[in-house]
């Protein structure tokens, strides 16, 4: 009887733990701001990491547009590839748990799209086709920045 009760309690605790982890994976560590954006609460060094990644994306976009202006498909491809999925490979799992699911999905989609843009440049797409795709990607960036802001927690998590 005690063994059965212990087993039931263990299963209930396991289910609660999994449910809590799922909620954190989906919601992340967030709160609403006065300007109705979602503040993602990060440790200062995590915030700086995400901001550095965003600067890297912006540098890649600059390289792509310079490549389009010069009609240099190799520059377009290499600039886009640098900010594709390979650049998102080594993200700390603890940081990923703090990001809301929609933020993670949008970020991964942007990295995949840069790989697609590189593939398009490699396969001879026109400058207009590449600019159209880049414009669509930048719409995703604008949407994300209008929804989210990054806040640094001064308390270590």
Closest alpha carbon to 148 in 36, 24, 26: 36
For residue 116, tell me if it sits in a domain.
yes
Is pLDDT of 5 > 70? yes
Please report, for the domain that includes residue 71, its CATH number: 1.20.120.10
| % of the chain with per-residue pLDDT over 90 | 71
Q: How confident is the model at residue 8 (pLDDT cuts 50, 70, 90)?
A: confident
For residue 9, tell me if it sits in a domain.
no
pLDDT of 17:
59
pTM: 0.81
Is pLDDT of 11 > 80? no
- Residue with token string 């965003």: 54
Q: How far apart are CA 46 and CA 3, in angstroms?
A: 44
For residue 4, tell me if it sits in a domain.
no
Q: What digits encode the pLDDT tens for the residues 86-119? A: 988 778 888 989 999 999 999 999 999 999 999 9
For residue 87, tell me if it sits in a domain.
yes
- Residue with token string 């590449």: 130
pLDDT of 15:
60
For residue 21, tell me if it sits in a domain.
no
For residue 22, tell me if it sits in a domain.
no
For residue 71, tell me if it sits in a domain.
yes
Q: What digits encode the pLDDT tens for the residues 74-89? A: 999 999 999 999 988 7
pLDDT of 61:
98
The mean-pLDDT minimum among 17-31, 51-65, 91-105 falls in 17-31
For residue 23, tell me if it sits in a domain.
no
Domain coverage including residue 143: 29-152
Is pLDDT of 121 > 60? yes
Q: Are 38 and 147 in contact (CB under 8 A)?
A: yes
Q: How far apart are CA 145 and CA 54, in angstroms?
A: 11
| Number of domains into which the chain is organized | 1
């Amino acid at each position: 009887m005690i063994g059965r009760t212990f087993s039931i309690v263990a299963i209930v605790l396991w289910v609660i733990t999994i449910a809590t982890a799922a909620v954190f994976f989906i919601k992340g560590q967030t709160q609403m701001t006065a300007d109705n954006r979602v503040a993602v609460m990060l440790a200062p060094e995590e915030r700086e990491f995400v901001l550095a990644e965003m600067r890297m994306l912006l540098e890649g976009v600059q390289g792509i547009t310079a490549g389009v202006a010069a009609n240099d498909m190799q520059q377009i491809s290499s600039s886009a590839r640098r900010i594709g999925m390979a650049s998102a490979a080594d993200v700390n799992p603890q940081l990923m748990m703090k990001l809301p699911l929609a933020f993670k999905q949008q970020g991964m989609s942007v990295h995949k799209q840069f790989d697609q843009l590189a593939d398009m440049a490699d396969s001879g797409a026109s400058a207009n086709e590449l600019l159209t795709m880049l414009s669509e990607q930048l719409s995703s960036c604008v949407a994300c920045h209008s929804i989210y802001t990054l806040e640094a927690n001064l308390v270590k998590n």
